[in-house]
Amino acid sequence: MHNIFLSVVTVVQNPSQFRVLPSFFQNIYQQLNGEFSDFELILINNTQSPDIDQYILSLEESIKKHIYLLNLSTTTNINNAFLAGLDRANGDYTLIFEIELFKNTDIIPELYDKTREHYDIVYLRAKDRKIPFKFRLFYRLFYFILKNYSSLKIDENAFSTRIISRRALNSLLRLRENLKFMKALYGIVGYKTSFLEFTGDSEPAEQESFSERFRTSLIAITSFTTFLRSLLLWIFIFSLLFLGGVMINALKVRFSGSDIFGNPAEIVTGWTFLVVIISVFFALTFLNLYIMSIYLSNIYTEIKQRPLYIIESVKRF
């Protein structure tokens, strides 16, 4: 038995997940009871549904006494929901565990055993993420930007499930950013990190819709990379090159009667050509404004310092 206090943090995002709660707690209790000297199970209800109680009350007393239920007053981003649990974790080690892995609780001792090799963070990693075909290009582009325009070490195959030492968690909780992308924050915190290959039959399902993932991607790209700044530079360079080409073409037409492609042309520039130039620069101008608006929106959100979550009630059983 390991002589440590382990905190396990789990988030329920959808009422459809309630039905697996009894099996989840029974499996995790059986796994932890003989492995760790003490533990707590912190469950965050991010659904605004009060029906969750009935799935916990049916459990044995020996299991219920370890459960700590946080009911959030309003549904929030899953990263903020996890943060609500991390803020209240008291363990020597804290385990973020996805509820979809309730049949794979045997990986918990393996994650902890990996930390004994002097790792502060050990995450669960898939050999190959099963991403829907329509989202694959989006994922590849997103992680390409993160890898090439930031100094963060981010594993695109990493699950949210991971075990964190007390000192690493304390450092993580000091990063009180309103715009949270947890994988990036783990990279900022640093500490010695490793992973455990996941060999189970099922893997956690994506809890966010495409629109939510797109917003999260914009947050990550604008907050943790230099991609848009580099993009603005290339737009500026392209605009200069395009302007130079137009000027050379205009001078060549005036003095030689043909354009830069060798085609005969009149001295007076046509209406279509003028419209094309105006349209291109009009589009580039609004692209720049849109990119700047993203940065200003992020700054405004951080300045407001609104709470990331609000707890409606706390229950012990």
Residue 207 has pLDDT above 60, yes or no: no
Q: In this structure, are residues 99 and 25 in contact, taking their beta carbons and an 8 Å threshold?
A: no
Q: What distance in Å separates the CA atoms of residue 87 and residue 169, rounded to the nearest whole number?
A: 9
Q: How far is CA 273 from CA 210, 253, 280, 302, in A?
A: 39, 13, 11, 44
Reply yes or no on whether the pLDDT at 117 is more than 80: yes
Q: How many domains does the chain have?
A: 2
My answer on whether 157 and 265 are in the same domain is no
- Per-residue tokens: 86: 């991390």
User: Do 276 and 200 reside in the same domain of the chain?
Assistant: no
Segment of 118-127, 132-141, 200-209 carrying the highest mean pLDDT: 118-127
pLDDT confidence of 270, banded at 50, 70, 90?
Answer: low
Q: Are residues 249 and 194 in the same domain?
A: no
Burial class from Cβ neighbours inside 10 Å (0-12, 13-18, 19+) for residue 47 reads buried
| 78-87 and 166-173 helices, crossing angle to 10° | 120
The whole domain housing 236 covers 227-304
Dihedral angle of Cα 138, 86, 43, 121, to the nearest 10 degrees: 70
CB atoms within 10 A of CB 110: 13
For residue 9, pLDDT over 90 is answered with yes
Q: Is residue 215 in a domain? A: no
Residues 22-66 have pLDDT tens digits of 889 998 988 888 888 888 999 999 888 888 888 888 888 888 888
